[in-house]
Structure 1
C-alpha cells in the first residue's frame, strides 16, 4: 500500500482565517470568545480536499478522533454533548478530563470546554468553512489550555514533544492524510515532515 504524502507547511496554513495570525491581540480576543482568558492558545488550520459536511460529521463523532489524534488513549462518549477524555502525557503518564459541547452550529463549528477537576483545564473551537475555488474545506482548530505547572509545565511538555500547539499541528496533518487518502503516512515519514514543519514554526 502506498504511503500518503505528508501535508506541506503551505497546505497546513493555506487560506487560514485571520484568527490564525500570531498576533497577541487576536489571540486574546479569540481566547475571550471561548471563555479562556489567560490560558495558552494554539491556532492551527489546514485545507482538506473534502466537502465541509463530510468533514464536520467525521470530526463531530468523537469516536473517530483517536484515528488521527495520536496522543488520545480513549474517548468515552457519554451523550450528544458530554464525553470523557484520556490523553497520553510526558513520561508515560496520562491526563484525563470531562468535556462538554457548549455551543454548536451544525456543519460549521462547535465549541467545547473541560469541566470539573480536569488534569489540564482546556477549551476550544473547531471551525469548518468552504475553501476558495472549490478546493475543499478549511478546518481551523483553536485550542486553549492551562499547562500543569504553568510555564515550567509547558517547557517540560515541549521537551517531550507533547506540547499541545505542536500536537495540534500534527493531528491536523494526519486528519488531512486520512480524509484525502484513507490512510496516514508511515511513522518515519510523518515524523520527518512534522519535525521539518516544527522547525519553521
Structure 2
C-alpha cells in the first residue's frame, strides 16, 4: 500500500442530510446552543461546552482507550456553521453544517459533513477501527437526534425510565 493510499484510508469522511420542518435561523440557533452538542452527540462522545462556541470531546474507543479533543466554531454564517479541532487533538477533525431551504416550502435541509483524521501508528489503527465501525451512522444519528430535539424539545431514548416506585426502579 502506498503512502497516499494509507493516508486516504486513515481519513474518515462522512456526510448525511435530513429535512426538518422548521426555519433555518431557528435550527441554526439551536445547533449553536452549547448544551445541544452534548445531547446530540452523546451516542458517540461526551461533549462538554467550554466557552463561546467551543467544546471538549471525549470518545471511548477500542480496548478502553479514551480520546480527547477540543473543537471551536471557525465560521458561522446564516446558512453555514464550520468547526475544527484545536492543536493537540487526539483525533483531528473538521465539520460543516449547511442549511438549505427544503423543496416545497417544507422547512430546512441540513447537510452535515464531518472528516476525522486519526493519527498514525497503533493509536491510529485503533481509532480507525472506532470510526470505521459506522462513521456515517455516527453523523446520521446526530442529525436524527437533532431533528427530534428541534421538533419535540427532547431526544427519545430506549434507556430504562424510572417508574417512581421502589426507589425509582421498575422490578
Instruction: Tell me, in whole angstroms, the C-alpha distance in 1 between the residues paired with 2:58 and 2:140.
Output: 19
Which sections of structure 1, spanning at least 5 residues, go unmatched? 1-37, 189-201
TM-score (ref. length: structure 2) = 0.72
Structure 1-normalised TM-score?
0.63
CA distance in 1, matches of 2:14, 2:156: 24
Change beyond 3 A, Cα 1:174–1:73: same
Moved over 6 A (4+): none
Deviation at 1:74, TM superposition (A): 2.9
Matched-pair contact (CA < 8 Å) for 1:84–1:98: yes
What is the distance in 2 between the residues matched to 1:101 and 1:186?
Answer: 28
Q: Is the 8 A contact 2:99 2:109 kept in 1?
A: yes
**Number of residue pairs matched by the alignment:** 147
Whole-angstrom CA distance in 2 between matches of 1:171 and 1:91: 24
181 and 82 in structure 1: CA distance in 2 versus 1, 3 angstrom threshold: closer
Query: Larger radius of gyration, structure 1 or 2?
Result: 2
Contact kept? 1:87, 1:95, Cα under 8 Å: yes
Q: Indicate conservation of the 8 Å contact 1:78/1:84, yes or no.
A: no
Bigger helix fraction: 1
- Alpha-carbon distance in 2 for matches of 1:93, 1:187: 26
Q: Indicate yes or no: 2:102 matched with 1:140.
A: no
Q: Does 1:186 align with 2:154?
A: no
